[in-house]
Amino acid sequence: MPLLAIVYFSISGTTESLAHAVARGADGIAHVALCRITGDDIVSGRFQNESLLETIDRASAVAFGSPTYMGGAAAQFKAFADASSDRWTQQRWANKFAAGFTAGALAGGDQLHTLTYFSILAAQHGMLWCGLDIPGGEDPSGRNRLGSQLGLATHLVGGLLPQSDVSTAEYLGQRLAATASRNG
Ligand SMILES: Cc1cc2nc3c(=O)[nH]c(=O)nc-3n(C[C@H](O)[C@H](O)[C@H](O)COP(=O)(O)O)c2cc1C
């Protein structure tokens, strides 16, 4: 089975719930490594968790996750991305499959910008992007509620993560793992 690395940052737990949903979706198709970026990984402004980067070195697929903060990925996620520049030089992550997920407070809280950033990060590394093949508003079970086909975008409704978005995250994990498995 391929290895799926789920690399994410979360403070209040929403993005972490999504990361676990992505992992559930990949269950039985890929081995999963949940890689949570923490504040302690960042020393003097630089991401220094080499073992997390080495987990990605071994993975066939990577899911990037971050809350949307001020219209983009959280600074802690960006510190991780910046630390991947040595790998970029040698294109060490080329041809891995990649996908992204993000949460915001608002339905239109600029989550698209975070997903766009994830896809550009993947492109910089020569990775192959895996989006959502669920047309928004057309799925009988309501997945891809916000109609975001670049990746999973969500926001809390009444303080809760909608079940349809959790299901969308599970599907994204399943799709990413199956793509890596088929092409491994
Ligand atoms: C500093 C900061 C900036 C934020 N900026 C945005 C934003 O631009 N758009 C948005 O929809 N939500 C924004 N939020 C809300 C978070 O994205 C939201 O609470 C998210 O669910 C937090 O994820 P977490 O529970 O994984 O930490 C912001 C929150 C913080 C603390």
Domain ranges of the chain: 3-182
Residue 90, H or E segment: helix 85-90
**Each residue of 122-148: pLDDT tens digit?**
999 999 999 999 999 899 999 999 999
Q: Flag whether pLDDT at 184 surpasses 90.
A: no
Q: How far is CA 167 from the centre of its chain?
A: 15
- Compute the CA torsion angle 64, 92, 61, 7 (nearest 10 deg): -30
Give the atom of ligand 1 at the shortest distance from the alpha carbon of 8. Answer: 26
- Cα of 94 vs centre of ligand 1, distance in Å, is 30
Q: Can you tell me the distance from the alpha carbon of 4 to that of 31, in angstroms, rounded to the nearest whole number?
A: 6
DSSP 71: T
Question: Which protein residue's CA is at the shortest distance from atom 16 of ligand 1?
Answer: 104
At 144, the amino acid letter reads N
ipTM over cut 0.85: yes
* Tally of CB atoms within 10 A around 119: 19
In contact, 106 and 155? CB cutoff 8 Å? yes
Mean pLDDT of 23-50: 98
- As a whole number of Å, the CA-based R_g of the chain is 15
How large a percentage of the chain has pLDDT more than 90? Answer: 99
Residue 36 CA to residue 94 CA, distance in Å, equals 22
Cα distance between residue 86 and residue 10, in whole Å: 25
Quote the distance between the C-alpha of residue 43 and its chain's center.
Answer: 23
* Whether residue 155 has pLDDT greater than 90: yes
pLDDT mean across residues, the chain: 97
For residue 10, report the distance from its CA to the centre of ligand 1, in Å: 10
Q: Would the CB of 77 count as within 6 Å of ligand 1? A: no
Average pLDDT over residues 15-33: 98
Q: Is 108 in the pocket of ligand 1 (CB under 6 A)?
A: no
Which tens digit of pLDDT belongs to each residue from 60-98? 999 999 999 999 999 999 999 999 999 999 999 999 999
Beta carbons of 124 and 88 less than 8 angstroms apart: yes
Ligand 1 neighbour 12 (Cβ under 6 A)? yes
Among protein residues, the one with the nearest Cα to ligand 1's atom 9 is: 109
Give the whole-number percent of the chain exceeding pLDDT 70.
100
Where would I find the H helices in 94-162? 111-124
CATH number for 3-182: choose from 3.40.50.360, 3.40.50.300, 3.20.20.70, 3.20.190.10: 3.40.50.360
Mean pLDDT of 4-25: 98
Q: How many CB atoms lie within 10 A of CB 135?
A: 11
pLDDT higher than threshold 90 for residue 104: yes
d(CA 156, CA 67): 12
